[in-house]
Structure 1
Amino acid sequence: MSKSGMLDLAAGVGGKIDKSDVLSAVDTYEKYHTCYGGEEQERKSNYTDMVNKYYDLVTSFYEFGWGESFHFAPRWKGESLKESITRHEHFLALQLELKPGHKVLDVGCGIGGPLREISRFSSTSITGLNNNEYQITRAKELNRIAEVDKTCSFVKADFMNMPFPDCTFDAAYAIEATCHAPDVYESYKEIYRVLKPGQCFAAYEWCMTDSYDPSNRDHQKIKAEIELGNGLPEIRFTRQCLEALEKAGFEVLWEKDLTMDSPVPWYLPLDTNHFSLSSFRLTALGRLITRNMIKTLEYIGLAPKGSQRVQGFLEKAAEGLVKGGRTEIFTPLYFFVARKPRST
């Protein structure tokens, strides 16, 4: 199960970074971003360092507030956040038509929440690819606890340069992960390479919609807040993802922004005007309690210096996500299924 206590959260801040270096890591990470004077090209050029620092800093916060699966989901009325996340993962498995015995790749697997759920649901063997050592350490521990460590494994590597032979996998998916790629075409091309001919790749992408106006300062600010709080080099338009898929050689079977059919707004868990007992830690009161506890734990030395700063940019990201959702200029649920042709 996920680490759920406040002390677990505090101890995990910084991941594999030495606790005395957390504050300087926060400084470095923030300076990559527009909100602090950073530029997009610098984020792309240094994406490995930026994304690794991001996940070292935030993983324990994510696990504390969100659980083991770090992603959004379309949600039905009367459905809890956890239930919607599970259904969302099952939906992906069904769209890929996963079968027992399939060898599947999870591109950017986090701490493996979706991997474990999809593996049990579909009776498949899944390899999780992740370039963050701390997350892989957590993922292996959680696999052992869930008793899926015999069928699911992890490889530490960059998804821009995968250490797998051509035509290795029967299916591949990415859940809100390839948004971290500095070049989405290059990431899709690598996924295409390791897929067997005739097999499919499905993904949920973070994208700006056609409602985004690059000349609108409010829109620019929302985009910058989301990039800062989520370790993104840039946020692409949905059409750019489609163009990159086709350029990489995929046949796009279908694509849709799933936020359009969600009866409950996808950003509701982050909306401070919303109260939920089942997602209490994400509410305004829950965040206030967490903020004060982190402040206290940092003051007495149980949380590393810089922990409050991490929570600060995560809260800024939450504000940006809510505003992005309300204005409909951003979606974390742009979904597609694409197939590698049988003859390549």
Structure 2
Amino acid sequence: MSTPTALDLASGLGGKIDKSQVLSAVEKYEKYHGLYGGDEDERKANYSDMVNKYYDLVTSFYEFGWGESFHFAHRWKGESLRESIKRHEHFLALQLGLKPGQKVLDVGCGIGGPLREIARFSSTLVTGLNNNEYQIARGKELNHTAGVDKTCDFVKADFMNMPFPDNSFDAVYAIEATCHAPDAYGCYKEIYRVLRPGQCFAAFEWCMTDSFDPHNQEHQKIKAEIEIGDGLPDIRLTEQCLEALKQAGFEVIWEKDLAADSPVPWYLPLDKNHFSLSSFRLTAVGRFITKNMVKALECVGLAPKGSQRVQDFLEKAAEGLVDGGRKEIFTPMYFFLAQKPHSENQ
């Protein structure tokens, strides 16, 4: 598939938000967050609006800089970012033991990069669940281009209230997506409900690690930068995710922070001290060029007013992610594999 150009970025900025309303949407989004006086309770109460605004505003930036799969990956030396992202997705499919013809649910699927890769890798039928209309429309275009529209589809819905009958899927996964849920238990309980007995749920979660100190102001600042830059109501501790899984009824097969022993730091693509031709747009130089390009596009009216503001909070996110990774207080890949018991009485 062709790499998005500057004009693709400009035409997609704002998603389904009317171009004249992008600036006011940015302002409303910012006010949800602690850096602008917002609080956690308000973000949780209005998570659907907040997350939808976020992905309308940032999806074009993500696709322009990151590609179709909006996530980090455990990475080996000598492995490119793109290779590591594909392997990360294949790892998930293998952990779930996917078999040809199975029905699989991708919770919080973005524009469907992992969905398409996992469907092709495992010959499964994958449904992507997403509450953002713009991302679904974009995902359908990409499915058609990739020739997977017969095996991959999308459903627009909230993952806290899924429109599927009980016991609908042979496997469920989430890649850096359920961190947007206002309540981990409520989200995991819905996943438990739609998963068939004896089958598995696997995920990569964004979490604060045991090294995070809630009383440390620098730690709190890093956490707040990640929350505003990535559309998060709150960032849970790994132990909170684990407890929520168990409360939802899952049996945890294994869990681990995969960032802890990644030979190449997961945050390297965003590190200003790192340069890479293969992921140039994510480097400090690439981001500087993008920032000025967006400024120019906004000045001539090709990009809506407010586009630079989106770039600004994405920069905050990058800084927070790198600092959180360096200090080992944050991970984007707390992995777990959990099974729904064969019998509800187990």
The amino acid that maps onto 1:330 is F
1:19-50 Cα deviation digits (max 9, x unpaired): 00000000000000000000000000000000
1:4 is matched with 4
1:139-172 Cα deviation digits (max 9, x unpaired): 0000000000001110000000000000000000
Cα deviation for residue 11 of structure 1 reads 1.2
Cα deviation for residue 260 of structure 1 reads 1.3
CA contact (8 A) 1:3 1:9 kept: no
The amino acid that maps onto 2:324 is G
2:165 is matched with 165
1:81-116 Cα deviation digits (max 9, x unpaired): 000000000000000000001000000000000000
Q: Quickly say closer, same or farther: Cα 1:2–1:306, change in 2 above 3 A.
A: farther
Name the CA distance, whole Å, in 2 between partners of 1:105 and 1:275: 36
Q: Quickly say closer, same or farther: Cα 1:150–1:102, change in 2 above 3 A.
A: same
2:205 is matched with 205
| Equivalent residues in 2 for 1:11-90, closer than 5 Å | 11-90=11-90
1:268 is matched with 268
Cα deviation for residue 333 of structure 1 reads 0.5
1:309 is matched with 309
Name the CA distance, whole Å, in 2 between partners of 1:286 and 1:7: 16
Residue 244 of structure 1 pairs with residue 253 of structure 2: no
The amino acid that maps onto 1:34 is G
The amino acid that maps onto 1:108 is G
CA contact (8 A) 1:2 1:64 kept: no
1:335 is matched with 335
| Equivalent residues in 2 for 1:55-204, closer than 5 Å | 55-204=55-204
Cα deviation for residue 261 of structure 1 reads 1.7
Cα deviation for residue 288 of structure 1 reads 1.0
Cα deviation for residue 211 of structure 1 reads 0.3
Aligned-residue sequence identity (percent) comes to 81
CA contact (8 A) 1:176 1:204 kept: yes
Question: TM-score normalised to the size of structure 2?
Answer: 0.99
The amino acid that maps onto 1:227 is E
CA contact (8 A) 1:109 1:128 kept: yes
Name the CA distance, whole Å, in 2 between partners of 1:178 and 1:288: 30
Name the CA distance, whole Å, in 2 between partners of 1:101 and 1:81: 30
Cα deviation for residue 2 of structure 1 reads 5.7
CA contact (8 A) 1:2 1:63 kept: no
1:264-287 Cα deviation digits (max 9, x unpaired): 000000001100000111111111
Question: TM-score normalised to the size of structure 1?
Answer: 0.99
2:321 is matched with 321
The amino acid that maps onto 2:6 is M
Name the CA distance, whole Å, in 2 between partners of 1:73 and 1:3: 21
2:226 is matched with 226
Cα deviation for residue 304 of structure 1 reads 0.2
Name the CA distance, whole Å, in 2 between partners of 1:105 and 1:226: 27
The amino acid that maps onto 1:40 is E
Cα deviation for residue 3 of structure 1 reads 5.2
The amino acid that maps onto 2:332 is P
Name the CA distance, whole Å, in 2 between partners of 1:333 and 1:151: 27
CA contact (8 A) 1:69 1:114 kept: yes
Find the residue that maps to 1:301 and give its secondary structure: coil
Name the CA distance, whole Å, in 2 between partners of 1:215 and 1:124: 46
Find the residue that maps to 1:260 and give its secondary structure: coil
CA contact (8 A) 1:74 1:264 kept: yes
Instruction: Indicate the RMSD between aligned Cα atoms, in angstroms.
Output: 0.6
Name the CA distance, whole Å, in 2 between partners of 1:71 and 1:288: 21
1:169-206 Cα deviation digits (max 9, x unpaired): 00000000000000000000000000000000000000
Question: Runs in 1 of length 4+ with deviation above 6 angstroms?
Answer: none
Name the CA distance, whole Å, in 1 between partners of 2:60 and 2:104: 27
Name the CA distance, whole Å, in 2 between partners of 1:132 and 1:94: 28
Cα deviation for residue 10 of structure 1 reads 1.2
Name the CA distance, whole Å, in 1 between partners of 2:34 and 2:54: 15
CA contact (8 A) 1:72 1:85 kept: yes
Name the CA distance, whole Å, in 2 between partners of 1:218 and 1:100: 48
Name the CA distance, whole Å, in 2 between partners of 1:340 and 1:288: 47
The amino acid that maps onto 1:62 is Y
